[in-house]
Amino acid sequence: MLLISLLVTFGWAIVVPFLWRIWGRRGGRMGVLLPSALFVFYAWRLSSGETATECYVWAPSLGIEMALHFDGLSGTYLLLITGIGALIALFAVPYEIPARHVGGFDSLMILFMGAMQGAVLADDLMTLFVFWELTSITSYLLIGFESEKREARSAARQALLVTSGAGMAMLFGFLVLGELAGTRRISELHQHADAIVGSPSYAPILVLIAIGAFAKSAIVPFHFWLPNAMTAPTPVSAYLHSATMVKAGIYLLARLRPTLSGTDLWFLLLGAAGAATLVVGALRVVNEFDLKRVLAETTVIGLGALLLTLAIPTPFGVQAFAVFLVVHALYKAALFMIAGAVQHSTHTRNLRELSGLWRAMPVTSIAAVLSGVAMMGMPPMLGFIGKELIYEATLDAPKFAPLWVAAAFTGNSAMVIGALLAVHHVFFGRGLPATEIAREPPPGMLVGPCVLGLLSLAFGIFHDAIQSVVVQPSLRAVTGAEVGHELELWGGLSSSLVLSVFTVAAGITGYHQRYRLIRLARLIPGVLRPRFENGYRFVLEAIAWSATTQTRVIQNGRLPVYAAVLVAVGASALAISAIRGPRVAWAGTFDTTVADIVSGAAIFLGVGVAVSARGRFAAALGVSLSGFGLGILVALLGATDVALAQFCAESLLLVAVVLATRRTAARYGPSQRSAGAFLALRAAVSAAFGAAAALALLRATSAPFEDELSSHFIENAVEVARGHNVVDTILVDFRVLDTLGEITVILILALALWPLHRGRAGRVAGSETRSPP
């Protein structure tokens, strides 16, 4: 069932564009059907409390299997992915996206949904990696969807390079981890936890995997890509970059927590990164004046908080993680959709131009208040419980508790500031004339924020529901036990409650003294200034410089040089293998037939013509002649198939060369001055290649002929591959994967030549329309 739900999602990605094309917006709304159905399915699976594992053959020779595992943690994520996905799909229908009618956008969103489901369902490290990278790629395409915008392209590239570049480190960590544990099944890894943690490879494994996870989840020092990704259409920001994809890194660490945690390294690495992210995000949020970037910076804070809770080695930490995961996804997706609605109505996201929208957009402002209050962590919202749990977990930390509490306090206060900016300022601030034209967005855009806001409220009041359906199963999945606090809105006068009160007070003060905070943040070096981003730029520029330099040297545009280098390298390779081969023992005989002599003469004649020719056309004919001679020789030796292919390829090659020579000078060769040296060099290279090839051939035939493989093919051709042409059975059956690779190369070549063909045709057509009659 799990695999089917994945396949159905990917299939839906193909169907959705047609819904758009046939029924327009109505068809777009139908796109919601599948995510909703999947949500119901996963909710049913999760509430039944059963885990499930499915395993399919994928690449058995590489030890890779398509293993899927459903438990409380993946179930929680799946509910967020499909539930919020359905609301976003509905929200996105009226949202203005260029070339929307083609349906590519919605297709990509569903494709991402499938990839994300795969990532959290994967039970095999390689399966996880494949889906993980697929989310990076879909994210790249979605951030850069409005590809005519320069900043969209560069943000997309940045997100892709940062996340998948770090993904390489993660892959390496996976491989070492899999080798060490002797299995790549994630659900079996924790059985080997002691051996893994005790091994000297433990620290590299953890660091490598953490790099991948941190980059994906925009943890310091990779935090810069997330706010830049806000150039994406708002449905993308709401879905990928607040509720789902950015939480994949956190997911991975939660998933591997049973295997890799329990050490100081885990605690301090994750804790320090989480705390740093909380503080850096807090400092950056006050300096943002774009509504979506404000929300993005608070997402960074939220991700830092999630990481910090995972670092803390108590079950309370995991419980805080499970609750805050849901809390954050609910309010953040809602606020992003509200930001999209505001932009839809006012055509701006600039906080300097947005204020006092509540008169014009009363329903939107109610939804905004619900989510804003949840984000501030005020009772009776679920957000309050989440924040309380974060404080309790940090207070409970075995080491450096004050440090974690201080980081959490900073981050949470900045959350309050962000919520006030996004809700109080935008909707209830002093009205600006520019916002008077605003009106309520279409109802489809309001469903999501309203539903999510009400859920934040409902789960806050009926928190037992979330405790039993989501939190306990997640706890069981991550810690193996169902320990944890009872969720409660009123837990008496505790230190966490006092902290909460101070948090809100600090946030409100900070909101009113925002410009002082900006000055304060500017004093701290490297936080507001894009120091980390400069690192990224430096790497990028270094790569570009090195590529340009290499290209200038290697690809100098001189065809004779290319040919000479290629042939010389080939000659060296052949020479090395020939010298290292067995001794040459002449085993050949000279009982040649007339036909052999004729075809051999054709080869020599062709070579002679090619060498002595003064024009390209004659030279091409000469080369072709020797090719045909070789074909005849091969045919005489009994390799009909090879000869046939040789003849066909030779004919077409001749056509291609002749066509190409039409555009080059008829005569070729060097200028008179350097003619001698040039010819000598060419002759030397050619002779060396010929000699090396001949020597290699002699060596090869001198060795005792190993016919195990060929007799295997011959014996099994009819029986296994059901063909009498052994060459063909090798091509399309025994070694078919090789053939697939080869024809892919042909396709790539064709695609590389394609612009030459189409581009020219287009230009010709264009010039025709412009030319005077």
396 vs 650, beta carbon nearer other proteins: 650
Task: Yes or no: say if 478 and 259 are a contact pair by the CB < 8 Å rule.
Answer: no
Candidates 57, 553, 594, 665: give the one binding other proteins (CB under 8 A): 57
61 binds other proteins (CB under 8 A): yes
Binding flag, residue 716, other proteins (CB under 8 A) = no
34 close to 9: Cβ distance less than 8 angstroms: yes
Q: Is the peptide bond before 221 cis (omega within 30 degrees of 0)?
A: yes
List for the chain the helix, strand, coil content (%; round to 5). Answer: 75, 5, 20
What separation in angstroms does the CA of 148 have from each of 151, 154, 478? Answer: 9, 11, 44
Among 430, 492, 764, 770, binds other proteins (CB under 8 A): 764
Q: State in angstroms the smallest separation of the CB of 119 from other proteins.
A: 21
By CB under 8 A, name the one of 50, 680, 725, 766 that touches other proteins.
725
What the block records as the tokens of 69 is: 């595992």
Q: 151 with 231: CB under 8 angstroms?
A: yes
Which of 558, 580, 662, 770 forms a contact with other proteins (CB under 8 A)? Answer: 662
737 binds other proteins (CB under 8 A): yes
The answer to whether 746 contacts other proteins (rule: CB under 8 A) is yes
Residue 722 lies near other proteins (rule: CB under 8 A): yes
Q: Is 731 in the site for other proteins (CB under 8 A)?
A: yes
Out of 561, 579, 743, 765, which residue is the one contacting other proteins (CB under 8 A)? 743
Q: Which span (222-230, 511-519, 569-577, 748-756) binds other proteins, by CB under 8 A?
A: 748-756
Give the rounded distance of the alpha carbon of 728 from its chain centre. Answer: 38
761 makes contact with other proteins (CB under 8 A): yes
Binding string, 640-659, against other proteins, x = CB under 8 A?
Answer: xx--xx--xx-xx--xx--x
In sequence order, what are the beta bridge partners of 56? 66
Region of 38-46, 239-247, 535-543, 717-725 interacting with other proteins (CB under 8 A): 717-725
446 vs 663: CA distance, rounded Å: 62
Among 146, 188, 533, 733, binds other proteins (CB under 8 A): 733
Please give the angle made by the CA atoms of 334, 340 and 343, to the nearest 5 degrees: 145
DSSP string, 359-373: TT-HHHHHHHHHHHH
Whole-angstrom distance, CA of residue 420 vs CA of residue 414: 10
Q: How far is CA 720 from CA 57, 386, 588, 726, 732, in A?
A: 22, 63, 35, 11, 12
CB 758, min distance to other proteins, A: 8
Query: Contacting other proteins (CB under 8 A), which of 526, 747, 765, 766?
Result: 747
Binding mask 174-193 for other proteins (x = CB under 8 A): --------------------
Whichever of 546 and 651 has its CB closer to other proteins, that residue is 651
Instruction: Write the CB contacts of 336 (distance below 8 Å, at least 6 apart in sequence).
Output: 234, 237, 238, 242, 292, 295
Residue 666: DSSP 8-state: S
Residue located via tokens 């990028």 = 540
Least Cβ distance, residue 57 to other proteins (angstroms): 7
Helix (H) or strand (E) run with residue 57 in it: strand 52-59
Size of the site for other proteins (CB under 8 A): 48
Residue 12 CB, shortest distance to other proteins, in Å, is 19
Using the rule CB under 8 A, is 437 a contact of other proteins?
A: no
664 makes contact with other proteins (CB under 8 A): no
**Token digits for 398?**
């075995």
Q: How many CB atoms lie within 10 A of CB 182?
A: 11
Stretch that binds other proteins, among 58-66, 135-143, 215-223, 577-585 (CB under 8 A): 58-66
C-alpha angle 502/506/511, rounded to 5°? 150
Minimum CB distance to other proteins, residue 188 (Å): 23
User: Least CB distance from residue 102 to other proteins, whole Å?
Assistant: 18
- Give CA–CA dist 674/660, Å, rounded: 26
Select 150 or 662, whichever has its Cβ closest to other proteins. Answer: 662
Q: Are 341 and 449 spatial neighbours (Cβ–Cβ below 8 Å)? A: yes
Residue closer to other proteins (CB basis): 522 or 763: 763
Interhelix angle for 33-47 vs 72-92, to 10°? 160
Cβ neighbours for 408, distance < 8 A, ≥ 6 positions apart: 275, 278, 305, 308, 390, 391, 394
Phi and psi torsions of 70, nearest 5°: -115, 120
Smallest distance from other proteins to CB 84, Å: 32
Q: Which residues pair with 66 in a beta bridge?
A: 56
- Which parts of 576-615 interact with other proteins (CB under 8 A)? none
Binding mask 613-642 for other proteins (x = CB under 8 A): ---------------------------xx-
Q: Which of 493, 523, 665, 751 binds other proteins (CB under 8 A)?
A: 751
Least spacing, CB of residue 593 vs other proteins, in Å: 21
55 is a site residue for other proteins (CB under 8 A): no
Of 362 and 741, the one with the shorter C-beta distance to other proteins is: 741
Cα distances (Å, whole numbers) of residue 170 to 140, 215, 268: 19, 10, 19
Q: Please select the residue that binds other proteins; options are 60, 525, 557, 588, rule is CB under 8 A.
A: 60
Cβ partners under 8 Å of residue 570, min gap 6: 689, 692
Candidate segments 82-90, 614-622, 686-694, 745-753, binder of other proteins by CB under 8 A: 745-753
Cβ count near 329 (within 10 Å): 23
Least distance to other proteins from the beta carbon of 632, Å? 15
Tell me whether residue 493 or residue 764 sits nearer to other proteins (CB atom): 764
Q: Which tokens sit at 217?
A: 């989840």
Cβ 717 to other proteins shortest distance, Å: 10
CB of residue 562 to other proteins, shortest distance in Å = 18
493 part of the interface to other proteins, by CB under 8 A: no
231 lies in the site for other proteins, by CB under 8 A: no
Determine, following the binding rule CB under 8 A, whether residue 62 of this chain makes contact with other proteins: no
Binding site for other proteins (CB under 8 A): 57, 59-61, 640-641, 644-645, 648-649, 651-652, 655-656, 659-660, 662-663, 720-725, 727-729, 731-733, 736-737, 739-740, 743-744, 746-747, 749-751, 753-754, 756-757, 760-761, 764
